[in-house]
Structure 1
Amino acid sequence: MAPLLQIFILSLLVSLIYCADPITKSCSQSYTGSGIETNINQVLSDLVTKASVGGFAVSSYGKGNNMIYGLAQCRGDVSSGDCSSCLADAAKALPVVCPKQTDARVWYDYCFMRYDTDNFIGQADTSSPVILYNVNNATDPDAFDKAVSKLMNKVNSEAVSAGNGLLGREKTKFTQYITIYALAQCTRDLQPLQCAQCLSSTLQYFPVYCSHRQGCRVLYTSCMVRYEIYPFYFPLDSKAKNPGAAKYATTIVHPH
């Protein structure tokens, strides 16, 4: 198959992900009345409009205890079209999956969106991570874990380097037939040091949940890391072989 055709097919398959169900959600703090709901709708509309242009936006609307703060961000490697579509899906989904809640967050493959009555902008949040891991183990698991560790440190460093927009993407050839792909990203309201601390915090869960796994991701509100043995970030690797559908287990780590 010609490389350009491979890239087109992979792009088509991956571009379908944004319209799937959310990866996960988080909801808390019930409210009553229409005032907050009006402010939430205004913030969501504002986030979709602004973040569709640059891939990131913050917004606020309302007064006093009814003030709503919002943030939206797309994965830094996706196209503007996929970003806009994901944001539109997220804005529609949030009030539905978190009905009458003032602290609402939703994660998709291509984007993340949240709103809250507390002003969280510029604050790193590393509570209650969501962890998804491939149920299949890697071959030569100890060597695989070492390769993953080295790769994750590399993408985390890349994410906080100047000019990268708090996004890191790298790959490493593990064997002749297996390439490991990794991505790290922080929300762009954070400073580089905050981002570095957030990304570093994700790695504490790797020995517990990701060890020997063919793929794994840790999702915080403020940052996320992920690795797979297939290309999942853009530009897609045209030389990669499709490993078939992977099965994932999900764990939410609640604070003690």
Structure 2
Amino acid sequence: MTLSHHLLLLGVLSLWHCSADSADPLGVFCDKDAKIGSPKESAYIDDLSVQLVLKASTSGFVAISYGSGQVFVHGLAQCRGDVGKEACSTCIQDAAMQIRARCPNEADARIWFDYCFLRYSNKDFIGKLDTRPGILYRNGDNVTIETERFNEELGKLMENIGSQAVERRNEGLGKGQTKLSPFVTLYALAQCTRDLSPLSCAQCLSISVGNFPNFCNNRKGCRVLYSSCYTRYELYPIFFPLGSTQRFSNTQMMMVYP
């Protein structure tokens, strides 16, 4: 990395870190089979990271390519659709800083946070459905209400929010809730990256939700994260304006390569 690249990257990415500690990501993937091939490619990744931070921090989403000649890198950054501008900007800055620190030698890297997702690669992935790898979280506790009704209501809710997510006007976001009893409410959230077509979004969400019966059967909470979409349900509020600071208790996590 040249001194000018280094200073520019630090100048953009250190704005928030001057006053706050870094958050831990939900997951990181560094493709060990995609090594950075040259200093030029590394410099382009740094330049791309700066552009991802600048543009996604203001718009909530960006998908761009950067380079020249035979060397190009491609990047995408997106915040959760219900997250405010300030939280989005903070998350994207953190993602760009951490992904380069955690994947310093890889030309294909992804990082997931609760509020945002960031990815870059030397292969053009923009607009393409990608469900490899996947990161799955599940609550270690089973639901205490009647499981058949729980799964029926969960299925209806995920279908409803999936229908929201594929509509262009919703920019890939679907969210909703349903009462299971006077004292228990089920909340669900789904989002596709905004470069996907409605059909690809629907396919991604279908694959994601398809993990629920196997990995999260009858569990109080579940989260499936792919590079193109994610889905989540909980028995407490998980989206704004009903946001909660609660996190998983007794959580189990797995990274899968279907």
Q: TM-score range by the shorter chain?
A: 0.7 to 0.9
Equivalent position of 1:159 in the other structure: 165
Contact 2:139–2:248, Cα closer than 8 Å, also in 1: no
Matched, 1:105 2:110: yes
Contact 1:19–1:86, Cα closer than 8 Å, also in 2: no
For residues 142-167 of structure 1, what are the alpha-carbon distances to aligned partners after superposition, in whole Å with 9 as ceiling and x for unaligned?
32122111111111011112421111
Please state whether the residue corresponding to 1:67 is helix, strand or coil.
strand
TM-fit CA distance, 1:243:
7.6
Please state whether the residue corresponding to 1:82 is helix, strand or coil.
helix
Matched, 1:218 2:224: yes
Q: C-alpha distance in 2, partners of 1:252/1:145?
A: 24
User: Structure 1 residues 106, 175: closer, same or farther in 2, change over 3 A?
Assistant: same
Tell me which amino acid in the other structure corresponds to 1:30. Answer: K
**Structure 2 counterparts to residues 1-256 of structure 1, below 5 A:** 19-28=22-31, 29-139=34-144, 140-236=146-242, 246-255=249-258
TM-fit CA distance, 1:32:
4.6
Between 158-167 and 170-179, the greater mean CA deviation after superposition: 158-167
Between 111-120 and 132-141, the greater mean CA deviation after superposition: 132-141
Q: C-alpha distance in 2, partners of 1:244/1:75?
A: 17
For residues 175-209 of structure 1, what are the alpha-carbon distances to aligned partners after superposition, in whole Å with 9 as ceiling and x for unaligned?
11111110111000011111111111112211111
TM-fit CA distance, 1:141:
2.4
TM-fit CA distance, 1:77:
0.2
User: Structure 1 residues 174, 236: closer, same or farther in 2, change over 3 A?
Assistant: same
Contact 1:65–1:117, Cα closer than 8 Å, also in 2: no
User: Structure 1 residues 49, 192: closer, same or farther in 2, change over 3 A?
Assistant: same
Q: Across the two proteins, how many residue pairs are aligned to each other?
A: 235
Q: TM-score, normalised by structure 1?
A: 0.87
Tell me which amino acid in the other structure corresponds to 1:220. Answer: Y
TM-fit CA distance, 1:19:
4.6
TM-fit CA distance, 1:61:
1.5
Q: TM-score, normalised by structure 2?
A: 0.86
Contact 2:187–2:236, Cα closer than 8 Å, also in 1: yes
Equivalent position of 2:13 in the other structure: none
Q: C-alpha distance in 1, partners of 2:102/2:207?
A: 28
Tell me which amino acid in the other structure corresponds to 1:23. Answer: L
Q: C-alpha distance in 1, partners of 2:119/2:162?
A: 23
Tell me which amino acid in the other structure corresponds to 1:113. Answer: L
Q: C-alpha distance in 2, partners of 1:50/1:62?
A: 17
Please state whether the residue corresponding to 2:170 is helix, strand or coil.
coil
Tell me which amino acid in the other structure corresponds to 1:175. Answer: S
Contiguous gaps of at least 5 residues in structure 1: 1-17
- Identity level (%): 44
* Dislocated runs of 4+, deviation >3 Å: 242-245
Tell me which amino acid in the other structure corresponds to 1:50. Answer: K
RMSD, aligned α-carbons: 1.8
User: Structure 1 residues 243, 66: closer, same or farther in 2, change over 3 A?
Assistant: closer
